[in-house]
């Protein structure tokens, strides 16, 4: 398999995942590019990884979490998500999802990463724990705290169930074992 | 499965497609992205950066690229942008940047510096002392850039063009080693650049003019704002503050800007609805823009010396 084949197969999905993590299209492109650069370096030295897609995704998550840590001290000027107005849409439910998107933007990096990896990538908590660099219990805790924050977000408070999702509920729902 | 889980899943699935549309635009402007710092005078580094940019765009923008194209390419170091009067300078993130407020501010960085000095600082009892140009005759090993409000554009100079604007090099007649001033009269800026050989060209290569900054603030203070829309203000979910020079000699230029937090938007709403301290159309130089989720905006202005203390400012 050529590296170009990996890019063709996984490049687009990589940008999407990066975008859901960082909520910024330009930054998502950067994250994906950085992941490809690092993957290519590894490819040159050690040959192709067993699962290129998972390997690229891991780099993106790592880069994203590292970028969020560095961001405050290295960037003076940037487009904040809150500067970008949401596009109006008359479709039913769009307002609610738009509110959810903006509420997710307020989550800390690791909480947001857990939601993306679990609900978009459909990964089990075991893999999420490896990607984020925490234990499975911490993954469940991060998800629970993320939902608690979303539930209390002003834009979502009146539109969704106010019930808190507990770590136990995640375990009982089977998501900790990988089912979606 | 809860409603909130369903909502999160649906939201992520839907928003993942945002990047399909945005990506084409991002690719189109990619070569001009300012985060990529290419050092003039280092052909190898420039070539590496160009190869990195072109090759990594290729998978989505054109024919499939070959992995061999990446050999030797290293990602360029991160950069930062420093804006003043609409002039944006892109320099390595390791550089120290000082924005002189009442008592001065800035970070030491790696020894290379950019310093910004406005004409007249808001809310300062006296004008701060400002650093003079480097006047040593010893070999210059670090780059020092000063962006300053234009003081005078009289006298002889050598005409040039910088970032699409007419400019002139003016000899300052200082001690040996004093760099000439680069003046951009129509944006009210003068620059002093002290740099090793080739460094001045590098600085100028990273200079651009943006009539609107990243937060939508005009480089020059707009003539007036329409009436404050109370409905829009009450529903605002985002916003920014744009702060302008109090008494610039040739116009009222943007000193700086910053994004408002949710708490600061609430404070703005409270300040306007509570005290009416900022009547619409006031000739203030601190402009707050509040925006709703569906993109409607309204503006509130305050005088620099009478803005409510609990509202954020864009300039230290």
Instruction: Count Cβ atoms within 10 A of the Cβ of residue B162 and give its class: 0-12 exposed, 13-18 middle, 19 or more buried.
Output: buried
Mean pLDDT over B62-75 rounds to: 39
pLDDT per residue as tens digits for the range A125-149: 999 998 888 899 999 999 999 999 8
Question: What pLDDT sits at residue B195?
Answer: 82
HSE at residue B278, side-chain half, CA atoms within 13 A, is: 32
Cβ-nearest to A120 among B12, B71, B93: B12
Residues of A in contact with B216 (CB under 8 A): 83
pLDDT band at B37 (very low <50, low <70, confident <90, very high): very low
Please say if the pLDDT value at position B1 is more than 50: yes
The β-bridge partners of B82 are: B89
**Does pLDDT of B51 surpass 90?**
no
Q: Which residues of chain A are modeled with pLDDT < 50?
A: 72-92, 161-167, 169-170, 173-180
Q: Which of B11, B61, B90, B106 to mutate to test the interface with A (most CBs of A within 10 A)?
A: B11
Q: Which residues of B fall within a CB distance of 8 Å from A1?
A: none
Concatenate the DSSP letters of all residues of A5-70 into one string: HHHHHHHHHHHHHHHHHHS-HHHHHHHHHHHHHHHHHHHHHH---SSHHHHHHHHHHHHHHHHHHH
Question: Which residues from A are below 8 Å from B217, CB to CB?
Answer: none
Q: CB-CB: which of B16, B70, B82 is closest to A120?
A: B16
Going by pLDDT thresholds of 50, 70 and 90, the confidence category of residue B271 is confident
């Amino acid at each position: 398999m050529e590296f170009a084949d990996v890019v063709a197969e996984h490049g687009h999905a990589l940008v999407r995942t990066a975008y859901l993590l960082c909520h910024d299209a330009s930054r998502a492109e950067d994250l994906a590019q950085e992941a490809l650069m690092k993957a290519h370096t590894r490819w040159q030295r050690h040959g192709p990884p067993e699962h290129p897609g998972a390997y690229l995704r891991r780099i993106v998550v790592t880069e994203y979490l590292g970028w969020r840590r560095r961001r405050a001290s290295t960037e003076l000027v940037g487009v904040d998500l809150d500067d970008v107005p949401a596009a109006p849409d008359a479709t039913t439910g769009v307002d609610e999802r738009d509110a959810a998107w903006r509420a997710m933007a307020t989550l800390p990096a690791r909480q947001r990463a857990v939601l993306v990896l679990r609900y978009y990538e459909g990964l089990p908590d075991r893999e999420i724990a490896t990607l984020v660099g925490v234990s499975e219990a911490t993954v469940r805790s991060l998800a629970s705290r993320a939902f608690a924050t979303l539930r209390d977000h002003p834009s979502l408070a009146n539109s969704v169930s106010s019930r808190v999702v507990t770590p136990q509920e995640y375990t009982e729902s089977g998501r900790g074992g990988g089912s979606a | 499965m809860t409603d909130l889980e369903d909502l999160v899943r649906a939201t992520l699935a839907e928003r993942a497609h945002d990047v399909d549309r945005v990506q084409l635009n991002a690719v189109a402007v990619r070569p001009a992205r300012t985060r990529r710092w290419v050092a003039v005078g280092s052909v190898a580094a420039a070539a590496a950066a160009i190869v990195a940019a072109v090759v990594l765009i290729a998978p989505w923008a054109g024919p499939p690229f070959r992995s061999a194209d990446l050999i030797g390419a290293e990602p360029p170091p991160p950069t930062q942008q420093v804006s003043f009067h609409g002039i944006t300078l892109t320099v390595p993130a390791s550089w120290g940047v000082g924005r002189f407020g009442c008592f001065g501010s800035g970070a030491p960085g790696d020894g290379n510096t950019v310093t910004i000095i406005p004409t007249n600082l808001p809310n300062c009892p006296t004008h701060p002392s400002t650093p003079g140009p480097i006047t040593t005759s010893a070999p210059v090993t670090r780059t020092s850039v000063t962006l300053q409000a234009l003081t005078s554009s009289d006298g002889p100079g050598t005409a040039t063009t910088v970032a699409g604007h007419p400019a002139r090099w003016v000899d300052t007649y200082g001690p040996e080693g004093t760099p000439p001033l680069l003046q951009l009269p129509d944006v009210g800026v003068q620059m002093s650049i002290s740099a090793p050989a080739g460094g001045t060209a590098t600085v100028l290569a990273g200079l651009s003019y943006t009539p609107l900054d990243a937060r939508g603030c005009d480089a020059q203070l707009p003539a007036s704002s329409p009436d404050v829309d109370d409905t829009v203000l009450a529903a605002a979910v985002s916003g920014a503050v744009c702060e302008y020079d109090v008494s610039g000699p040739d116009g009222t230029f943007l000193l700086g800007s910053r994004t408002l937090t949710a708490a600061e938007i609430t404070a703005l709403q409270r300040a306007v609805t509570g005290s009416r301290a900022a009547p619409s159309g006031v000739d203030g130089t601190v402009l707050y823009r509040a925006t709703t989720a569906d993109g409607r905006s309204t503006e509130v202005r305050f005088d620099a010396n009478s803005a409510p203390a609990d509202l954020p400012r864009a300039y230290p």
